[in-house]
Structure 1
């Protein structure tokens, strides 16, 4: 029979009448320490670093080797007892120390720096919401109107480049 583990993070559970409960308990604490509010050194490494310090962690790349073999996309953390791994699920998020960006695990991929939202609110005011419909280019008029059309055209081009309105 397999050892009992938690449903989400596969943390080891104590069993009734189990000898050496401290081993199971300490293993669970090491994995919680790795998975709770994780901050990784880097994302996508395939080989373990040569001299990791206890408490450091990484996101394993798509073609892992060495001690990371078979652990693609896992959160790998170095402890005093060696490597510990947490398999991510959709929504798992980490802070990457090297890029200073958040990465979120979605549909089998780590998406670094992507922000999925329906709107951006700054100081209580929505500043970016869902993309608006295309705005027609100005047309008509003469003289000074040509300069206004050029300026409006530049504004519309910038809004399109930033994805705020459709092209």
Structure 2
């Protein structure tokens, strides 16, 4: 058995360990911070002067002060001070001030982008992969083929019914 969990390094309680409550409480503090996390800001380099317990930030690329050496980390303020957590690929946090999610792609934090293969609403696909370009009508051309191509694209994306 290792001393910590493999993904987030939460402390394990080991057999015969003294003061088990310290390790258990530390694990609970980290789980509390990581379970559906919300952050105050993304890319902040200087810690706020008066954080409240439970508040969190995504540290910027040139941190200073108490955050020095913690670039791109999640910084959580607790009653015991700052706790830091390295992001994992796919980790998503909510940026409350903007009402958007921020996802760690393995190299950087991506703010407000949704990715997927299709947008499905009430079981109906309304947007799918981008189709081929529809050509311009040109001067004096017949508008019917172009209009039909537009209608076909709208139907393929589920934006209008067939």
Equivalenced residue count is 148
Structure 2: gaps of 5 or more residues? 155-162
Write the distance in 2 (CA, Å) between the matches of 1:41 and 1:76: 10
Query: Secondary structure of the equivalent of 1:25?
Result: helix
Shift of the alpha carbon at 1:15? 1.3
The question of whether the paired residues in 1 share the 8 Å contact of 2:39 and 2:94 is answered with yes
Indicate the residue corresponding to 1:111 in structure 2.
110
- Tell me how large the CA RMSD over aligned residues is: 2.3
Indicate the residue corresponding to 1:95 in structure 2.
94
Tell me, yes or no, if structure 1 residue 23 matches structure 2 residue 5.
no
Write the distance in 2 (CA, Å) between the matches of 1:66 and 1:22: 31
Matches of residues 118-157 of structure 1 in structure 2 within 5 Å? 118-139=117-138, 141=140
Matches of residues 66-81 of structure 1 in structure 2 within 5 Å? 66-81=65-80
Query: Secondary structure of the equivalent of 1:76?
Result: strand
The question of whether the paired residues in 2 share the 8 Å contact of 1:45 and 1:58 is answered with yes
Q: Runs (4+) of structure 1 moved beyond 4 Å?
A: none
The question of whether the paired residues in 2 share the 8 Å contact of 1:31 and 1:85 is answered with no
The question of whether the paired residues in 1 share the 8 Å contact of 2:90 and 2:106 is answered with no
